[in-house]
Structure formats: structure tokens, C-alpha cells
Amino acid sequence: MARKTAINLRHFRVFIAIAEAGNFTRAAERLLLSQSSLTVTMRQLESELGVSLLRRTTRQVQITSDGERFLNEAKRIVKDFDHLMTTMRLSASQLSGTVRIAVLPSVAIRLLPDLVRQLRETHGDINIVLRDDNARGLHRQVRDGEVDFGIANQWFDYPELEFVPLTRDQFGLVCRKDDQLATGGKLVSWYDLNPEKLFILAPDTGVHVTLHNTPELDSLLAATAGEVLVMVTLLEMVRVRLGVTVLPELAAPGPGDPDLVFRPLAHPVVHRNLCLIRRRNEPLAPGARRVWEALRSKLPRTVG
């Protein structure tokens, strides 16, 4: 009788990621795992197999001869499993007519309601399910096949994912209506902002990535008052006069907010580029393809 093993596909994926990245840090970023979790998983795999798959040095990771043999088989097993899951999901999606879309909260609230209503009227056989998440979680949902596709900006350049430009919105200042920057008549510049009163969203978000990929903002972002993970908390801090924040227009409070106002920022003009995101080289189910094409044809190329 074959001995039972605790090894599963997670162990294979971790080993493959480390082997391809040649570095634990980059592999952890790719898999959305902590380095400690990655290390524990590799130790479990090597212990169960009874061989060393990796040779670790202070700067890089090298694959052993046993690791080279195991890598080829691990890739084949993972590829076959992913293909099977994709085929089964495609079949189930065709039968149920359900399209699952992972979206940023701002997109779900401000961009999709009217469009989803229209699609339900014109495509009555399709049931659209929206799953809101931050950029990190959204990319993971798409990559792991939990949804048909996603809508977000590019948080990390995953080779398994394809990013198709959809629309964009401009960054602006969010402050109280009685703030001096809100009441002045002139165009607001990033250089008008006091970094000691500026709060921004945390690194798990696409907003954070976009801002830090804008070189002109380096000095401002290096001295901000703090970073906040949850949007509701961020806006409440502005509401009680702890400071101000910067957000893309779709993520900012609307004109009906009693306390807060959004003012576009210039010098430089910074946009968040939203994309349709799907797994690379995997066909969408017919229902998902219809919704994908409708989104591309109906949404404006620029918001605001």
C-alpha cells in the first residue's frame, strides 16, 4: 500500500515559483505569500521527499540535480491540473450562465451598476456576480480561477495574467469642503499639498502602486502622515479633520457628500489605468466573453 503524503499542489506551486524566480522574495510576491510561509512549505516538501531540491546561498537560490528532475514533473502535474480545472469551470459556466467578476470597490459602486442592469435586460440568460476586493486580492482571485475575469489597475506584473486597457480616471485631492484647498479658485497642484497632513492608501492597493510609480511624487510620498488599508477609515480621517488624501475620481466621494469634495490634481496629471484582467491563454466561457465585450464597448475610455 502506498504511503500517504501531506504534499499537495501548493507545495508544487511554491517550488516552481522559487525555481523560476531564483529568489524567495520574488517568489513570495508572485504567490502573495509571506517569506516565512514560503520557507515552511519548501521545508515540508523537501522533508517529505527526503532530498534537497534547492541550494540556498546568501544572494540566490540554485536548483540541485534532484530539483531539476522534480521541477519538470511538477510543472507537468500543475499544468495538467490547471487545464482540467479550466475545462470543468468552462463547462459549468456554460451550463449555469453565471459570470463572476472580481472588481475594485470603487468600480463596483461607481462604474458598473447601470451597466450590469443593462446587461441583465439585454442578456437575461446571464447572471452576473461581482466580488469586490483590493488589488492584491483581486489579482489572486483571477489568477487562481475563482472568477472569470477582473477589473482593476495592474498591481503586479503576473506572467499568468493578461491586462487589457479598459478605462482610466484622474487622481485628485479629497478634503473637507471648508478646507482652504477646496475653497480656493485656482487649480490644485500636487505641490500645494502638505505631506505632513497627507494620508494615502496602503501598499496592498492599486492606488498605492500607481502613486509610487510616478517619479515626480517621490519626495511628497516619502514624508506622508501615514498609510491606511481601508477606504472607509481613510475618508473618515479626512472627515474629522486629521488630514487630506488623494484618490482616483471613481474612488472619491461623489458630489452629494455633505462634508468632502474632490478636486483634480495637476503638475503632474496622474491617471489610474483600469484594465480587464484574465488568465493568459485560457478561453473565456461564452457568457463571460459576452460580458467582457460589452464592458469594452460601453464603458468610456476616460472617466470625468
pLDDT 10s per residue in the chain (304 long)?
A: 456 677 899 999 999 999 988 888 888 888 888 888 889 999 999 999 999 999 887 677 889 999 899 999 999 998 888 878 877 766 655 555 889 999 999 999 999 998 888 888 887 778 899 999 988 889 999 998 899 999 999 877 788 999 999 999 999 999 999 999 998 777 899 999 999 999 999 987 889 999 999 999 999 999 999 999 889 999 999 999 999 999 999 999 988 999 999 999 999 999 999 999 999 988 898 889 989 999 999 898 888 6
Which H/E stretch holds residue 174? Answer: strand 161-176
In the numeric block, the cell 488624501 is attached to 245
Whether this model's pTM surpasses 0.75: no
Quick one: 268 and 280 in the same domain? Answer: no
Shared-domain flag, residues 97 and 26: no
Q: Which of 205, 194, 270 is nearest to 233 (CA)?
A: 205
CA–CA separation, 120 and 90 (whole Å)? 21
Decide if 227 contacts 202 (C-beta within 8 A). yes
Q: What are the CA-CA distances from residue 69 to residues 74, 76, 180, 194 (Å)?
A: 9, 12, 66, 57
Domain end residue (candidates: 34, 62, 81)? 81
C-alpha 107/C-alpha 53 separation (Å) is 43
Does one domain contain both 159 and 107? yes
Q: Are residues 236 and 173 in the same domain?
A: yes
- Same domain membership, residue 196 and residue 262: yes
Instruction: Compute how many other C-beta atoms are within 10 angstroms of the C-beta atom of residue 287.
Output: 20
Instruction: State the cell numbers at 223.
Output: 514624508
User: Does residue 3 lie in a domain region?
Assistant: no
Q: Looking at the domain assignment, is residue 52 inside a domain?
A: yes
- Domain range holding 127? 88-166+274-303
- Give yes or no: residues 288 and 160 share one domain: yes
* Judgement on whether residues 20 and 154 belong to the same structural domain of the protein: no
Q: Could you give the C-alpha distances from 124 to 97, 111, 165, in angstroms and in order? A: 10, 20, 27
Q: Based on the fold, state whether residues 278 and 268 are members of the same structural domain.
A: no
* Count of domains for the chain: 3
Q: How many CB atoms lie within 10 A of CB 152?
A: 28
Same domain, 239 and 92: no
Q: Identify whether residues 159 and 178 lie together within a single domain.
A: no
- The verdict on 19 and 53 lying in the same domain is yes
Q: Are residues 160 and 296 in the same domain?
A: yes
Question: What are the CA-CA distances from residue 223 to residues 184, 194, 217, 226, 239 (Å)?
Answer: 24, 9, 11, 8, 21
* Residue 2 forms part of a structural domain: no
